[in-house]
Amino acid sequence: MSRPFHPTPSNAHADSGCITRVKGIELGHCSHPQRPTGCSVVIAREGATAAVDVRGAAPGTRETDLLRPGNLVEKVHAVLLAGGSAWGLAATEGVVRWLEEQDIGLDTGYGKLPLVPAAVLFDLSVGDPRIRPGAACGYRACAAASRNPHPLAGNIGAGTGATIGKLYGPACAMKGGAASASVTLNGVTVGALVACNAVGDVVNPATGRLLAGARMAPDYLALRDSTACLLRGEAPSFTLPGANTTIGILATDAPLTRPQLERLAIAGHDGLARCITPAHTLLDGDTLFALATAQSENSLDMVTIAAMAAQATSMAVLRAVHQAKGLRFPDLWLPALADMPVNP
């Protein structure tokens, strides 16, 4: 059996797969032309059984009640991730409109009704906060969706304005981003799309080495190590609870039920906790959706599929950070991992 893939200095840019390798899944992004923000959409034209797991204490979501086990509707047709905080949920209107134009949705007898859960992250501190993803942005993300196995990563879609390492103030943060990854085993694929906007730092789970996060000062590149600071008794200096969040989507082509998908989303959060420290804080709204297209002819036991989900999620976070590009504004500098003197 092959060893698990762990992005390290030598293989961080190796083929880490993509959520579009899951049969029946398409991925599209839209980055706003006027400010670092945007949205990302995963489309399942034939519908996909769906579930969600919310671990953060400050989530911004749409249609998550629909995904509770026992509720009537089992399948959704797309899931949206967006920047712009709660205002970014308006991008869902564009996704619904595009899907309706493609005749995709639940047949109500009066028309096709697209079912589109969504989650948002807070990126209003990056550029003009009056500019947020709207319906046009969601529509363009759908129009750009494809099964491209090598999509862009970093400053793209919902990760365009994402930042990380904010426990000691946004001025000491670094650039986060969005990325996708996947794991395939015996004809079954589990993929993940993650927009990493965590309050915590990002570490390499294979080595424990700190990659990116809170810096010592706004004009320094040296990393602080937020968790170590907390454990030394250094109080955080955040300004706004909820101004963070890592959101994502897991998808598999295995035939899973909604309760099984809920376990898959939980396993995805394990992947977040491997490489984000601290994770799932009161300041985050960490939310992961899980989809099953059931288009694979094979299946695996849930323990294995859950391990694949955690692995794909970790890989997506690390790829997002590795591919991120730094941003500079008159009053804010957000360096990226690529800007560090030694790229871990």
The residue among 43, 21, 62, 48 whose CA lies nearest residue 101 is 43
The torsion region of residue 54 among left (phi > 0), alpha (psi -120 to 50) and beta comes to: beta
Average pLDDT of span 11-18: 65
Q: Which residues contact 167 (CB under 8 A, 6 or more apart)?
A: 199, 200, 214, 226, 229, 230, 236, 237, 238, 278, 283
Average pLDDT of span 93-107: 97
User: Fold for domain 19-339?
Assistant: L-amino peptidase D-ALA esterase/amidase (3.60.70)
> Residue 11: what pLDDT?
40
> Residue 203: what pLDDT?
96
The residue among 217, 211, 215 whose CA lies nearest residue 342 is 211
pLDDT tens sequence across 228-253 = 999 999 988 866 655 788 999 999 99
pLDDT tens sequence across 254-269 = 999 999 999 999 999 9
5: tokens are 């893939």
Average pLDDT of span 124-132: 92
For 77, what's the count of Cα atoms within 13 Å in the CB-facing half-sphere?
21
> Residue 7: what pLDDT?
41
Question: How far, in Å, are 11, 90, 94, 276 from residue 133 at the CA level?
Answer: 34, 7, 10, 26
> Residue 5: what pLDDT?
36
* Residue 46 pLDDT exceeds 60: yes
Average pLDDT of span 218-233: 92
> Residue 14: what pLDDT?
55
Query: Residue-wise over 48-85: b if at least 16 C-beta within 10 A, else e?
Result: bbbbbbbbbebbbbbbbebbeeeeeebbbbbbbbbbbb
> Residue 10: what pLDDT?
34
> Residue 243: what pLDDT?
72
* Residue 58 pLDDT exceeds 90: no
**End-to-end C-alpha distance for the chain, whole angstroms:** 28
For 222, what's the count of Cα atoms within 13 Å in the CB-facing half-sphere?
4
> Residue 342: what pLDDT?
67
Average pLDDT of span 113-140: 95
Average pLDDT of span 315-340: 94
For 338, what's the count of Cα atoms within 13 Å in the CB-facing half-sphere?
16
How far, in Å, CA of 81 to CA of 92, rounded?
9
> Residue 282: what pLDDT?
81
**Coil, helix or strand at residue 305:** helix
**Coil, helix or strand at residue 158:** helix
For 281, what's the count of Cα atoms within 13 Å in the CB-facing half-sphere?
24
* Residue 188 pLDDT exceeds 50: yes
* Residue 4 pLDDT exceeds 70: no
Phi, psi (degrees; rounded to nearest 5) at 112: -85, 125
β-pairing verdict for 210-212 and 201-203: antiparallel
pLDDT tens sequence across 149-170 = 777 899 999 999 999 999 998 8
> Residue 241: what pLDDT?
59
Average pLDDT of span 264-292: 92
How far, in Å, CA of 334 to CA of 326, rounded?
5
Percent of the chain exceeding pLDDT 90 equals 77
Q: Which residues contact 74 (CB under 8 A, 6 or more apart)?
A: 49, 50, 258
